[in-house]
Amino acid sequence: MALEVVLHARASDIEAVYFRHGHFNPWRSAALARERRMMTGGIALAAVLLGLGWWLQGAAAAWEMLSAPVALLSFGVFGRSAWRLGRSRRRIRRFARKVEAAGPARLSMDDEGFILVYAGERHQVPWTLVRTASHAHDVVFLEADTSYLFPRSAMPAEAFEELLRLVRRHVPLLKPLPR
C-alpha cells in the first residue's frame, strides 16, 4: 500500500519533540546530571571549608582561600556544560524555524522505500538503507544516511497511522520512545 501526504511541519511541533522531558534544559536534563552533582558537591565542600576556617579562626584565611577555587571550579564545569547544551538547543531551534520556513514537504512511501521532497530537494531512501526507526505517540524517527523526523501534527491522523504501519512492516528495529 502506498502513502502520499503533504507535510506541514511547524517549528513549535519540532521543538516539542526535541525538548520533551526536560531535554536541553540545564536544570532537568539527564545529560547534565553529573555536572549538577559536581556543582552541588563543590558548593557543599566550599561551605565546609569556610565553616572550618571560621571554626579554627587561626588558619581561617587558608581555608577561605581553598573554598573560593573549589566553588568557582564547580560553577565553571557546570556552566561550560550548560553552555554547550544551550548551543545545541539554539541549533535545534534554528533547524525547526528553517523547516517551517521551507514550507510544505511531500512524502511518498511504498513497499520499496520513501521519497521526501523538501525545500526543492528530493530524498529517495529505500527501506534497506533505513538502519533504525523509533516512534512515540506523536512522532516517527527514521535513521538512514540522515535523520528523518515525521511529527503527527504535520499530517492527517490517518496518514500518521499508515506511516507507522509501513515503517513497522519494513524496518525491523522499530523501538518505542518514552512519552
- C-alpha 179 chain-centroid distance: 14
Distances in whole angstroms, Cα of residue 131 to Cα of each of 125, 135, 141: 11, 14, 11
Average pLDDT over residues 2-10: 86
pLDDT digits (tens, 9 = 90+) for 78-91: 778 888 878 888 99
C-alpha span between 118 and 150 (Å, rounded)? 12
**Which of the four pLDDT bands, split at 50, 70 and 90, describes residue 134?**
confident
Rounded CA separation 152/9 (Å): 9
Tally the residues of the chain: 179
Q: What pLDDT digit, counting tens, does each position of 150-167 carry?
A: 999 899 988 898 888 888
Average pLDDT, the chain: 81
15-71, pLDDT tens digit by residue? 888 777 767 666 677 767 777 777 777 778 777 777 776 666 655 566 666 677 777
Q: CA–CA separation, 178 vs 136, rounded Å?
A: 7
Q: In what order do the strands lie in the sheet with 139-143?
A: 147-151, 139-143, 132-136, 174-176
Distance from C-alpha of 52 to C-alpha of 60, rounded to nearest angstrom: 8
pLDDT at 54: 67
**Residues of the chain above pLDDT 90, percent:** 8
Q: How far apart are the first and last CA of the chain?
A: 28
